[in-house]
């Protein structure tokens, strides 16, 4: 059995991106892409040079073909993806605007999807647990009772399990009752590494501020609280200097970015952070690599972007605080650096 650096389990969907701004009712055409929190993380990590497997279910349909082919093209192993002969692959449409604004629209067609039929019985749990890191998100828990049962099984604390990474990803629209916030809190308590936005912790749990969130989530070894443009705070009891009895933690400010579309940034941040974690980098650099991967996603229209080369990301992550604070990144910054590096190496 191949031991991957990371296994990411969860639903991916075919996404249709608008050709221009405006309401869904007014957009004349869409461009096809892929989108899914866990597969996004898998694709970014594979593009960054890690061995990654994506585990899911898709329909035995053309959209399922497209998802598997597109995710495989990023270098992700898809051999554990199962095809459902009855249930379809999920799809969704969205507008071009920032999802934080009232003008943003998303139309999901995922009810009864193939991925919603994932269970602890039809998933190869030994394969899923063979990785160094298992990455999950709260979105999967909302898809069905069977999916929730699968996540409860995978976040149960037992000897020999991989490092379990969990992105809360609170999506109120996916939950059919009021149990969602409590379920997400329980799942997060079973993980080793947890990512949560301060805004979603406020909306879901009524918690304000990183320390209040840490008080509610003392179990994970690592807790990352994201503040969007305000940066991210990391609590880690295993790294000297990141957490003490007074609750101090590591804060790294976000980069200044010329945003094209605010989608996929959270997944990219998680991928950058996990990549740095796998490499054993210190707390500050883990957060900086998260911000750099998020900046790559923010400067493209879709969910996925080509990440900066590892050498370039390492150079930026090593900047002193003043240089980091003045750094500003815009569209094409990862490609521009790649071309510059190639020119330097060319005689």
Place of tokens 């035995």: 60
Tell me the Cα Rg of the chain. 19
- CB 105: neighbour CB atoms within 10 A? 17
Alpha-carbon gap, residue 92 to 115, rounded angstroms: 14
At a CB cut-off of 8 Å and minimum separation 6, what does 91 contact?
Answer: 13, 14, 15, 16, 63, 109, 110
Place of tokens 């929730």: 148
Alpha-carbon gap, residue 107 to 116, rounded angstroms: 17
Alpha-helical segments (H) within 156-194: 180-189
At 31, give phi and psi (nearest 5°): -105, 135
Indicate the helix (H) or strand (E) that contains 329. strand 328-329
Three-state secondary structure call for residue 337: helix
Three-state secondary structure call for residue 223: strand
Alpha-carbon gap, residue 123 to 292, rounded angstroms: 33
105: DSSP letter: -
Three-state secondary structure call for residue 74: coil
> Which residues are tagged catalytic?
267
Place of tokens 């949560």: 196
Alpha-carbon gap, residue 17 to 133, rounded angstroms: 31
Three-state secondary structure call for residue 339: helix
Greatest CA span in the chain, whole angstroms? 64
């Amino acid at each position: 059995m191949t031991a991957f650096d990371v296994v990411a389990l969860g639903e991916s969907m075919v996404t249709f991106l608008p050709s221009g701004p405006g309401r869904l009712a007014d957009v004349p055409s869409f461009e096809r892409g892929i989108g899914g929190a866990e597969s996004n993380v898998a694709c970014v990590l594979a593009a960054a040079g890690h061995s990654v497997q994506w585990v899911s279910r898709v329909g035995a349909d053309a959209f399922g073909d497209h998802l598997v082919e597109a995710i495989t093209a990023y270098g992700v192993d898809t051999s554990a993806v199962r095809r459902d002969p009855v249930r379809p692959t999920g799809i969704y449409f969205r507008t071009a605007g920032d999802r934080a604004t009232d003008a943003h629209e998303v139309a999901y067609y995922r009810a009864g999807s193939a991925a919603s039929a994932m269970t602890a019985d039809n998933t190869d749990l030994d394969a899923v647990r063979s990785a160094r890191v298992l990455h999950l998100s709260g979105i999967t828990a909302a898809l069905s009772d069977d999916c929730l049962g699968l996540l409860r099984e995978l976040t149960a604390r037992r000897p020999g399990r991989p490092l379990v990474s969990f992105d809360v990803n609170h999506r109120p629209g996916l939950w059919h009752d009021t149990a969602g916030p409590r379920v997400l809190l329980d799942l997060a308590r079973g993980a080793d590494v947890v990512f949560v936005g301060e805004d979603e912790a406020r909306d879901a749990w009524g918690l304000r501020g990183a320390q209040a969130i840490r008080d509610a989530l003392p179990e994970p070894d690592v807790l990352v609280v994201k503040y969007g443009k305000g940066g991210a705070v990391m609590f880690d009891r295993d790294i000297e200097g990141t957490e003490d009895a007074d609750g101090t933690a590591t804060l790294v400010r976000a980069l200044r970015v010329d945003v094209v579309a605010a989608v996929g940034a959270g997944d990219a941040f998680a991928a950058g952070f996990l990549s740095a974690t796998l490499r054993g980098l210190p707390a500050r650099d883990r957060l900086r690599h998260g911000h750099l991967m998020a900046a790559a996603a923010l400067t493209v229209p879709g969910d996925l972007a080509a990440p900066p080369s590892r050498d370039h990301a390492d150079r930026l992550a090593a900047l002193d605080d003043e240089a980091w604070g003045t750094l500003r990144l815009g569209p094409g910054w990862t490609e521009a650096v790649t071309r510059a590096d190639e020119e330097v190496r060319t005689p």
